[in-house]
């Protein structure tokens, strides 16, 4: 029954959905960096997971991501098989919209509804048959807080920003890229592995590139996008994407104000002896929150915004894009 519901649900919901949250809209929005000040909407936003009886005696994992849009409005993205990175096959999903009313959020579409209250989701069909329940979950990256190995170059440990040409040390001991210019590491690198942790602000009324935007530039040339892309499609200009080049294989973005990780293995482009002609493209493997989103991907060119490709080593650049994205626990192992 659940699979049949999902097929019709997907068609009906795609037609019924309200304004897209992925629109490239730089909507002016207050950026909230403290969960205690995030308000009632923030309590409902997040991930929910559970299992359903499919009707033939089988249990199927099911995941739901609830995204706050501001003023008590929400979008829900549901995933058959489990949440992204935890069972979802990358194809079978559906979406709905709803509003908060008297402490209860109801996401609705023609084929059914999801009611959320006290951290629990009840899914019902259009004829009010209860199909299953989900519980709120708080996923965490398995590499969050990873300690630098012996010999690693520690770029930021929460004490100072001396390893960068510019940057701001917040009162909480995090690194915020320098306003208007970003932060470039003084040390330059060729081939390396990088561990970096980041947190996007809560900006429910912002949309697209205006919602928790920053970026990690490998060798100051190749941007891995940082963005609040929670619940979005997972495009090359969203979190985990190589801007204009390659989308992540799965959108592993956690909700805003969650700490997230990139673990990156990078091999620089190669040039001839004269250092004029490129002979091999750069290659990269990235794990976002512990899940591989780029597997030995070839980068045919640099991305816009910083240095052009070249044979020389270059630093790690953290982009300032107008939003208070912060970083911590940044270290590099040179190869």
Domains in the chain, start-ordered, CATH in brackets?
2-137 (2.40.128.50), 153-334 (2.60.120.560)
Q: Is residue 143 predicted with pLDDT exceeding 80?
A: yes
1: confidence class by pLDDT, cuts 50, 70, 90: very low
Q: Is residue 14 predicted with pLDDT exceeding 80?
A: no
What are 284's strand-pairing partners? 266, 297
Q: Are the beta carbons of 258 and 65 closer than 8 angstroms?
A: no
Task: Supply the DSSP symbol for 163.
Answer: T
In tens, the pLDDT along 145-155 reads 999 999 999 99
CA distance 179 to 175: 12
335 token code pair: 């190869």
Beta strands across the sheet bearing 183-184: 183-184, 317-318, 214-218, 222-226
54: confidence class by pLDDT, cuts 50, 70, 90: low
Who's near 251: CB < 8 A, 6+ residues apart?
84, 229, 232, 233, 234, 238, 239, 240
User: How big is the CA angle at 281 (ends 279 and 285), to the nearest 5 degrees?
Assistant: 150
What's residue 226's pLDDT? 98
pLDDT, averaged across the chain? 90
Q: Is residue 270 predicted with pLDDT exceeding 90?
A: yes
What are 286's strand-pairing partners? 264, 294
59: confidence class by pLDDT, cuts 50, 70, 90: confident
11 token code pair: 């068609």
Q: Are the beta carbons of 110 and 121 closer than 8 angstroms?
A: no
Stretch 158-174: mean pLDDT = 97
Q: Is residue 26 predicted with pLDDT exceeding 90?
A: no
Q: Is residue 16 predicted with pLDDT exceeding 90?
A: no
131: confidence class by pLDDT, cuts 50, 70, 90: confident
CA distance 229 to 245: 17
What's residue 58's pLDDT? 80
What's residue 51's pLDDT? 87
Phi then psi for residue 187, to 5 deg, are -80, 145
In tens, the pLDDT along 67-114 reads 999 999 999 999 999 999 999 999 888 889 999 999 999 998 777 889
4-8, 77-81, 251-255: least confidently modelled range = 4-8
**Which helix (H) or strand (E) covers residue 221, if one does?**
none
Q: Are the beta carbons of 233 and 333 closer than 8 angstroms?
A: no
In tens, the pLDDT along 304-333 reads 989 999 999 999 999 999 999 999 999 999
Instruction: Quote the distance between the C-alpha of residue 235 and its chain's center.
Output: 11
The CB density around residue 295, as the number of other CB atoms within 10 Å, is: 10
Phi then psi for residue 42, to 5 deg, are -60, -30
55: confidence class by pLDDT, cuts 50, 70, 90: low
In tens, the pLDDT along 206-234 reads 998 989 999 999 999 999 999 999 999 99
CA atoms within 13 A on the CB side of 63: 20
Q: Is residue 52 predicted with pLDDT exceeding 50?
A: yes
């Amino acid at each position: 029954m659940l699979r049949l519901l999902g097929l019709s649900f997907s068609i009906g919901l795609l037609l019924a959905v309200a304004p897209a949250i992925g629109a490239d809209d730089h909507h002016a929005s207050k950026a909230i960096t403290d969960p205690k000040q995030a308000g009632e909407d923030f309590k409902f936003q997040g991930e929910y997971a559970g299992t359903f009886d499919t009707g033939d005696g089988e249990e199927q994992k099911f995941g739901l991501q609830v995204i706050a849009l501001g003023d008590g409005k929400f979008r829900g993205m549901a995933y058959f098989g489990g949440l992204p990175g935890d069972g979802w096959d990358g194809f079978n999903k559906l979406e709905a919209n709803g509003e908060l009313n008297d402490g209860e959020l109801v996401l609705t579409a023609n084929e059914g509804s999801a009611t959320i209250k006290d951290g629990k989701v009840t899914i019902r069909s259009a004829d009010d048959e209860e199909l299953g329940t989900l519980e709120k979950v708080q996923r965490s990256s398995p590499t969050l807080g990873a300690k630098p190995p012996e010999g690693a170059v520690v770029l930021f440990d929460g004490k100072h920003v001396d390893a960068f040409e510019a940057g701001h040390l917040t009162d909480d001991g995090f690194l915020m890229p320098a306003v208007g210019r970003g932060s470039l590491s003084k040390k330059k690198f060729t081939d390396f592995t990088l561990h970096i942790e980041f947190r996007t602000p809560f900006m429910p009324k912002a949309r697209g590139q205006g919602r928790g935007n920053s970026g990690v530039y490998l060798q100051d040339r190749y941007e891995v996008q940082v963005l609040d892309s929670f619940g979005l499609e997972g495009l090359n200009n969203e979190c985990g994407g190589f801007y204009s080049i390659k989308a992540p294989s799965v959108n592993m973005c956690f909700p805003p104000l969650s700490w997230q990780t990139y673990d990156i293995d990078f091999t620089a482009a190669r040039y001839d002896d004269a250092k004029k002609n490129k002979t091999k493209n750069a290659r990269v493997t990235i794990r976002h929150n512990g899940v591989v989103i780029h597997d030995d991907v070839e980068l045919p060119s640099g991305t816009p915004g910083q240095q052009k490709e070249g044979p020389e080593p270059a630093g790690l650049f953290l982009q300032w894009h107008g939003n208070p994205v912060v970083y911590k626990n940044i270290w590099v192992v040179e190869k």
